[in-house]
Structure formats: C-alpha cells, structure tokens
Amino acid sequence: MTDRSRSLDDAQTTAADDEQSVRQGRYLYCAVDTTTSDTETLPTAGIDGNRVYLIESDEIGAVVHDCDTVYTADDLERIKQWVVTHQQVVDAAGDVFGTPLPMRFDTVLEGGDESVKHWLADQYESIHRDVQSFAGMWEYRITLEWDPSPFEDRITERDDRLQELQQRQQQSGAGKQFLLEKQYDKHVRELKHDQRTELAAQLKETITPVVNSLVEQDSRPTLSGDADTSTEQEQVLQVAVLADEDAEKLLGERLDTIVEQNGVEIRFTGPWPPYTFAPDIGSE
C-alpha cells in the first residue's frame, strides 16, 4: 500500500473556524462489517494518540475514539496531520475487517457509545447494504503521464502537413517564415492534443473490462505530497477505479501494455478504502 491521500481543499473546507466543545463525543472513522473479525480494538492510535475501538450494532460497527471537541485549528499543518491519521485508522480497520466505509474527516456524534449504537441501528439498512456491496473491493489510483519529446522528435517525419510547412519555411523570406513557423507550432500542438486524447481513451478502454467503476479526477495537490513528477512529464489523465482485490494483478498487467509506448509513464497506487466511491454516510 502506498498512497491514500485526500485533497488539501477537502481538509480546509471540513474544518470549522472556531473550536466547539461536545459532550461525550465519539469521533467516527468508518463503518465496518463486524462478522469478519472478533477484534474490538485496532492496533493503531487515533488522532492525537487517542485509543481507537469498535462500537457494534448487530452485524455492523463504527470505529471511534472518545473526544470532547471537534477537530478545528488555524494551523493547516495540524489539520493535515489529523486527516492523515484519520486515513491511517481507516486503513487499519480495512486490514482487520475488510473493506470499510470511510467517514468524512471530523464526523463527531455526541451522547457517548449509546448514541453511536442508536445511529447505527437507525442507519442499519443502508450501512449494512453498502458494507456488503463494497466487500472485497478496493480503490486504486491511476495516473497516466506522457513525455511528448519523443513524439515531437519524430512527428514531422510522419505528418504531411508539417513536412509541407517546413519546406515552405525554407523557401520563404523572414516575414513569411515567421507566419509559417506559427502555423507549424499550432499544428504540432493540435497533434499533441490528439495524442493525449488517444492515450486517455486507450487507458480507459484497457482497464474498463477489469474494474467495477471508474471516475476521472483532477490533479489537485494531495496531503501526502504525491504529486511530485518530472518536469518533462505531462499529466494526461488521473482516474480512481473500484476493483475486486483479486483483479489487482490483472489490472497491473493491463497497465503495463500502455507503459510500453514511448514516453508514457503510469503511476498505480493502492489498494485504498473506497474514498471516492463510498456513500457520504458521515453527512447524516
């Protein structure tokens, strides 16, 4: 497992401006299927080192820690660390119970364990259905990057329009050459755009048969700082996919066929809990 990051914007918009006290608060990390394990505590500490434990209702449970305030701060670095810890607890829950349903960062219920049990009972039908529907499936992130330099080096030899413009430049005066050079550059940009479009389509076509769902994503900076790439590389496409755990190897093999193309690089991370695909149960 490598990268399980949410965007910095998500952390900023979740946190409130002022600290808010809560009575017998329970911070919720995720919901899990409790039939897969008898464990009541997890082998990891929660936010600010709090003990993490399980509150169960029938065949589902919530992974929580006790708290007396919601998690707000002016220091963005502190918020970042809280969100990373939140994700680490969700990861640990996944290792113990199988695919969890992640809660939003800073989801807190008041009223102690009984309040959480009541919430689980009230939401039992939907949570149980979703836990079962995601069982055995995980999220993977795939980023296709492309170095256009090799493409640019050979495209003139393959494109009649570029050859024509190049030949006309050699036969023209300085003023005409300038205009033809602009036309040449414009056509190169069009060809590069077409190539990027083709690569993106090829990636989606290659992996669609072995994934359950696919969502295109933007390239916002992430909390783990994983967006560091070579300056020569252009990000063509970033997707999140939901796939069966057994399909991970096949998915990687299919991605290898795309990497064989000149200038193409694939970043493949996971498995993660299904952050992109799980319902927002923390909003209720």
- Tens of pLDDT, residues 17-68: 345 788 999 999 999 999 999 888 888 999 999 999 999 998 999 999 999 9
Contact (CB, 8 A) for 29 and 42: no
What token pair was written down for 175? 């003023």
> Mind listing the pLDDT tens digit for each residue in 230-284?
457 889 999 999 999 999 999 999 999 988 777 889 999 999 999 999 988 745 4
Distance between CA atoms of 194 and 186, rounded to whole angstroms?
Answer: 12
Q: Is residue 280 classed as helix, strand or coil in its secondary structure?
A: coil
Closest by CA to 29, choosing from 138, 135, 104, is 104
The predicted structure's pLDDT at residue 10: 40
pLDDT band (50, 70, 90) for residue 187: confident
pLDDT tens profile 161-183: 666 666 676 777 666 767 777 77
> Residue type at 20?
Q
Question: What pLDDT, on the 0 to 100 scale, is given for residue 62?
Answer: 96
Strand locations in the chain (E)? 21-33, 41-45, 51-57, 60-69, 101-109, 137-146, 213-216, 234-244, 264-272
Per-residue pLDDT of 69-119, as tens digits, reads 999 888 899 999 999 999 999 999 999 999 999 999 999 999 999 999 999
Query: Which residue, 183, 189, 180, is CA-closest to 152?
Result: 189
Residue 176's pLDDT is 72
Q: What is the pLDDT of residue 17?
A: 38
The SS3 assignment for 147 reads coil
